[in-house]
């Protein structure tokens, strides 16, 4: 229950910040263009808090936190006195109206830059994208990718860490080719590798992009030595102790921790014999794993212990931290990567290269907000930047109920030299609303299927 409340709180905080940023973009440019703003609202419906500023604008926090709006003086909505007509939105020239509408998405993009700037000032711990293993006969293997290589760029995008690698690779869904530059172990020159993606299939919901290409990131060795024990767990009941080294299961020697995991999972509520080395002596124990149901409905065993993992080599650890000036460029570069990736994903959603089932709604966003808030400020800011970019791009879609739809009407007006008729706009709003509601319904359905 506390986890749900935490995710909900983080979601509302994130949503409130991003809505305020978006609407402030419209508000600020409208005021600079001489438009009178009657109301600045975060949320819809019944006001929970309101205040009238010295500028005459009513600032409101409303009950339904799924959006916001800036109400401007407009003759198309209400009667405007003759002496105030110059302050009405509809009486501003085309470029001023376009700037006011475009300012919302632009504010979201600028917020992402600021968020990443703070992230890079604080610093983000990461590891270099060094390849651990390459599956035989995989797409990566066929391209000549081998263990120990470090990924430097993907189709021209610099990849300093695994997050950048994943983002760049996901953007190639539906493409025929992916171009990588890599360095071999202990080499200081880069080599170009081309991955043939014509036979590549990737489901973002169930698969990792690296795995589908045959790449496993390097990670420190997982030993067979016990480093953690869960209180009242099956491992403690069996007599296991910290620093015990598992050497055999049911008489069969083991060399990798994954063998231990598979053996425990396949013995729910069934006794199994463990041979361990303790202070140089061999000890035989009987372990009866607990039993729980997996996602697929099968019963699996669990024991309540964890292995010791060797530390990362210092040469593999990096800290993405920059000075105030350099961080601006890095933040802008990261934001641009997000913008291009999101545009690619929206385009591929339309063309069918990305399945509609991958569309996410507020529940998935809430879960993401809660998880990143758990990790700390840096990761929560990164999450805000990601959602802010997505919000900005979604609002630029050419649907009449969104900012992009208004800009589309303004573009038609610029070409025809006359405004789009109110009848056509009304039809557009109805169609756009229907499409938007349908997309929201699909996103919510996808969210519920992931619970």
**Residues marked as catalytic:** 23
Tokens of 53: 């500023």
Q: How far apart are CA 303 and CA 290, in angstroms?
A: 6
Nearest to 199 by CA among 229, 185, 224, 178: 178
Contact 102, 112 (CB under 8 A): no
Output the CA–CA distances (angstroms, integers) from residue 29 to 37, 56, 85, 141, 248, in the order listed.
11, 17, 18, 53, 70
Strands (E) in 208-336, as ranges, are 215-217, 222-229, 245-249, 252-253, 272-278, 281-287, 290-293, 299-302, 305-309, 317-320
CA atoms within 13 A on the CB side of 374: 13
In this structure, how many other beta carbons lie within 10 angstroms of the beta carbon of residue 257? 18
Nearest to 324 by CA among 110, 122, 125: 122
Nearest to 246 by CA among 304, 285, 302: 285
Contact 215, 234 (CB under 8 A): no
Tokens of 240: 């296991």
Q: How far apart are CA 430 and CA 68, in angstroms?
A: 19
Contact 335, 112 (CB under 8 A): yes
Tokens of 333: 């570069």
Please name the residue ranges forming H helices in 239-376.
257-265, 324-351, 362-375
Q: How far apart are CA 338 and CA 222, in angstroms?
A: 34
Contact 347, 340 (CB under 8 A): no
> What secondary structure letter does DSSP report for 426?
H
Contact 359, 443 (CB under 8 A): yes
In this structure, how many other beta carbons lie within 10 angstroms of the beta carbon of residue 373? 19
Q: Which residues contact 404 (CB under 8 A, 6 or more apart)?
A: 105, 395, 396, 397, 398
CA atoms within 13 A on the CB side of 178: 30
Tokens of 351: 């063309």
């Amino acid at each position: 229950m506390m986890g749900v409340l935490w995710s909900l709180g983080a979601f509302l905080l994130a949503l409130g910040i991003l809505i305020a940023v978006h609407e402030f973009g419209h508000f600020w440019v409208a005021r600079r263009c001489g438009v009178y703003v009657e109301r600045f609202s975060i949320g819809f419906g019944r006001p929970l808090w309101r205040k009238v500023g010295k500028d005459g604008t009513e600032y409101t926090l409303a009950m339904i936190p799924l959006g916001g709006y800036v109400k401007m003086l407009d003759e198309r909505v209400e009667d405007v006195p003759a002496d105030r007509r110059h302050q009405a939105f509809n009486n501003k020239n085309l470029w001023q109206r376009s700037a006011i509408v475009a300012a919302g998405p632009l504010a979201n993009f600028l917020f992402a830059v600021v968020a990443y700037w703070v992230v890079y000032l604080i610093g983000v711990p990461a590891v270099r994208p060094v390849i651990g293993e390459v599956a035989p006969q995989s797409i990566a293997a066929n391209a000549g990718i081998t263990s120990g290589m470090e990924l430097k760029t993907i189709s021209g995008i610099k990849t300093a860490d695994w997050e950048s690698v994943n983002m760049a690779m996901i953007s190639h869904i539906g493409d025929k080719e992916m171009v990588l530059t890599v360095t071999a172990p202990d080499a200081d020159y880069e080599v170009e590798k081309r991955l043939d993606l014509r036979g590549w299939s990737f489901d973002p919901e169930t698969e990792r992009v690296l795995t589908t290409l045959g790449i496993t990131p390097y990670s420190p060795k997982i030993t067979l030595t016990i480093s953690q024990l869960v209180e009242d767990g099956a491992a403690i009941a069996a007599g296991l102790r910290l620093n015990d080294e598992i050497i055999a299961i049911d008489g069969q020697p083991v060399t990798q921790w994954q063998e231990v995991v598979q053996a425990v999972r396949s013995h729910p509520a069934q006794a199994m014999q463990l041979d361990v080395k303790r202070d140089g002596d061999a000890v035989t124990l009987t372990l009866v794993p607990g039993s729980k149901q997996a996602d697929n409905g099968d019963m699996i065993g669990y024991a309540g212990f964890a292995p010791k993992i060797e530390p990362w080599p210092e040469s593999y650890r990096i800290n993405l931290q920059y000075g105030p000036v350099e961080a601006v460029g890095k933040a802008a570069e990261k934001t641009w990567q997000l913008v291009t990736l999101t545009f690619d994903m929206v385009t591929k959603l339309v063309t069918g290269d990305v399945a509609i089932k991958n569309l996410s709604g507020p529940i998935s966003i809430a879960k993401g907000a809660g998880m990143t808030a758990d990790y700390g400020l840096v990761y929560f800011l990164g999450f805000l930047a990601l959602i802010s970019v997505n919000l900005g791009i979604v609002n630029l879609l050419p649907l009449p109920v969104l900012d992009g739809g208004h800009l589309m009407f303004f573009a038609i007006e610029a070409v025809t030299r006359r405004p789009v008729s109110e009848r056509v706009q009304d039809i557009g709003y109805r169609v756009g609303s229907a499409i938007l509601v349908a997309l929201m319904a699909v996103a919510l359905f996808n969210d519920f299927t992931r619970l």
